[in-house]
Amino acid sequence: MTMIHDIHDLFRLLDANPEYRAELRRYVLSEELLNLPARFNRFVEDRFEPFEERMDRFVEDQRRINREIREDIGEVRRDIAEIRQDSAQMKGDHARNRADRQAPFIAFTMGLTYVRTLTGADLTGMVRDADLSGIAPGEIASFVDADLIIEVIDGDGQTAYVALEISYTANRRDTRRAIRNAGFLSRFTGQPARPAIASIRNDPEIADVISGGEVYWYTLYDRDLEPE
pLDDT (0 to 100) of residue 152: 96
- Give the pLDDT confidence of 208-218 residue by residue, as tens digits: 999 999 999 99
Pairing of strands 159-166, 193-199: parallel
The CATH class that applies to domain 92-225 reads alpha beta
- Give the pLDDT confidence of 81-133 residue by residue, as tens digits: 554 554 445 454 555 666 778 889 999 999 999 999 999 899 999 998 888 88
Beta bridge partners, 75, equal none
Domain boundaries, the chain: 7-34, 92-225
- Give the pLDDT confidence of 168-200 residue by residue, as tens digits: 889 999 999 999 999 999 999 999 999 999 988
